[in-house]
Structure 1
């Protein structure tokens, strides 16, 4: 199916990325940390379900806890867990639909229309558009508000699997560097009514506390 055609919900697999080392969380499994009494990954799964046809979780430890979320769990196929790109590659390897939508496990308030808006941007981008990513307003150190890309919130076509594998095997680790090779479409989430904290992520225990008590 060409990107210029509408992308149906059933043609998108959602992937929750929970396979990181949790370094800034002290090495704990970030996706299983509690937010409002429930694991962060559970929030992400529930928020994805109505947006896509199928949901997967990428995890590399504590598999029974992730399997208890009721969706298939896929581990990195590459050794040493080399960052979110490895999780994205695993998602592409297990994706049974033309499109994969990735979200991190630590951003429980991501937009409920994320998939629809990224898909619409790809449909408008022509037959060669294969990646769309979100961007969101952020106040910089100079006090000015700018749109910052959120590259892990990414809708991509399964045909990019080989490209991603080669990029990682060549030492690439930055999501933005890889997506730039394919002319990713950037979709701003700055409309009136868009939640200002939709892309706030819990990298540290302090961040998680800030999410619990805004």
Structure 2
């Protein structure tokens, strides 16, 4: 049985430091007159039953968007893996669609295609484009929350290291622009003409 929309929560990773954007909270970086977090919610909300945002600052501002907000366990930024752990803990659906806040052109069919590849013997499905895995674009079983929380506590910090220890399946995408992210102002300038 494949995961359906009603069984999936979108988990948005918005807890980064935004160093290459001058330290701004990346979720509130404005592209096309809208903050990145709004672009991301617009993309994932139709694909999922609920949304949860992982953030480590601007918490009250994120809450104004109407979705639950969670922070890293110890209130300090420890990387996206800690954010994923919190999202899995907070979700009430069996599956969580993990996405970063900085890819405003996310595929409108990301959840559907990842869910189609998530067989009973697979822990998570992750997107790949141009031969490059997109580890922060993945459909994950919520039941992995406990193991991930322990892995983070034991010092695992790279998302790919955690994923490689699981039963994963990669799903290839033909259009890599869907995963173009904004890490610096130049990325936003490059992306804007294509939108």
Q: Same fold (TM over 0.5)?
A: yes
Within-5 A mapping of 1:15-164? 15-122=11-118, 125=119, 127-137=120-130, 147-164=131-148
Q: How far apart, in 1, do the equivalents of 2:38 and 2:64 lie?
A: 9
Displacement of 1:173 after TM fit? 1.0
Displacement of 1:80 after TM fit? 2.1
Q: Which runs of 4+ in 1 moved over 4 A?
A: none
Corresponding residue for 2:190?
A: 210
Displacement of 1:205 after TM fit? 1.5
Scaled by the length of structure 2, the TM-score of the pair is 0.95
Instruction: Please list the CA deviations of residues 112-132 of structure 1 after superposition, one character each: whole Å capped at 9, or x if unmatched.
Output: 00000000000xx3x221100
Q: Which runs of 5+ in 2 are unaligned?
A: none
Scaled by the length of structure 1, the TM-score of the pair is 0.87
Q: How far apart, in 2, do the equivalents of 1:180 and 1:203 lie?
A: 25
Displacement of 1:14 after TM fit? 0.3
Q: Which runs of 5+ in 1 are unaligned?
A: 138-146
Residues 78, 86 of structure 1: 8 Å contact kept: no
Displacement of 1:65 after TM fit? 2.0
Q: How far apart, in 1, do the equivalents of 2:68 and 2:150 lie?
A: 26
Report the count of equivalent residues. 194
Corresponding residue for 1:201?
A: 181
Displacement of 1:213 after TM fit? 3.0
Q: How far apart, in 1, do the equivalents of 2:129 and 2:74 lie?
A: 31
Instruction: Please list the CA deviations of residues 166-195 of structure 1 after superposition, one character each: whole Å capped at 9, or x if unmatched.
Output: 2111211111110110121100012xxxx4
Partner SS, residue 118 of structure 1 = helix
Corresponding position: 1:12 with 2:5: no
Corresponding residue for 1:144?
A: none
Displacement of 1:87 after TM fit? 0.9
RMSD: 1.2
Which structure features the higher share of helix residues?
2
Q: How far apart, in 1, do the equivalents of 2:34 and 2:74 lie?
A: 29
Corresponding position: 1:184 with 2:148: no
